[in-house]
Amino acid sequence: MTFLRALAVAGLILLAGGGAFVLWQRRAEAAEIERLARDLRLGPGSRIADVGAGKGSFALALARRVGDDGHVFATEIDADLVRRIRAAAEREGLRNVTAIASAAASTGLAPGCCEGIYLRGVYHHLTDPEAIDRGLHEAIEPGGRLVVIDFEPSWLFTLLAPVEGVPENRGGHGVPSFVVAGELEAVGFVLERSIDDWSSRNYALIFRRP
């Protein structure tokens, strides 16, 4: 086999591997969305919020599930991401998505706007968790549910990707599940269920507002 042919074969292998990873990632995301919808008890007409929505892929997927009679509020502290979510929702014809600019101490959500809220890989970044937790409690109507998906801190991840401005009790990049539970229970949420193996190294905590 010539060098060029070997190089071409190696490139095809890498391309195939990359394609397989993308396919796996999409399937994993779809499975997580199904699981999240089930634990939030979503259905047509549900009103939910994605706090720290990132690029909005989960928010848009769940907007399709709740239908035209439902609504998804996607909050982001990054103004560019807020614009991207709005553009993506418009491009896909989803009129039941509202992108909201949030802040370090404010969710940006109106009181009683939702029956369900989720934070996915966001809680460990909060620099003022008490203010955000109070805002979450106000935004969810009585009987509504909150799902927090996050991961335990590790020394390696803390070394490779340190976080700044968060409370010291996080123990590095990540946040212990018992810390999350304690902080949210302090503002009035009730922990209903803890899932250690939500996805990859993530856990999930499912709360209810009485």
CB-based burial label for 177 (10 Å; 0-12, 13-18, 19+): buried
Contact 196, 149 (CB under 8 A): no
pLDDT reported for residue 5: 56
> Does position 157 have pLDDT exceeding 70, yes or no?
yes
DSSP codes joined into one string, 119-130: EES-GGG-SSHH
pLDDT reported for residue 52: 98
Which of 5-9, 62-66, 96-100 is predicted with the least confidence, judged by mean pLDDT? 5-9
Whole-model pTM: value is 0.87
pLDDT reported for residue 89: 98
pLDDT reported for residue 69: 97
Report DSSP state, residue 98. E
Cα–Cα distance measured from residue 182 to residue 194, given in angstroms and rounded to the nearest whole number: 13
pLDDT reported for residue 9: 46
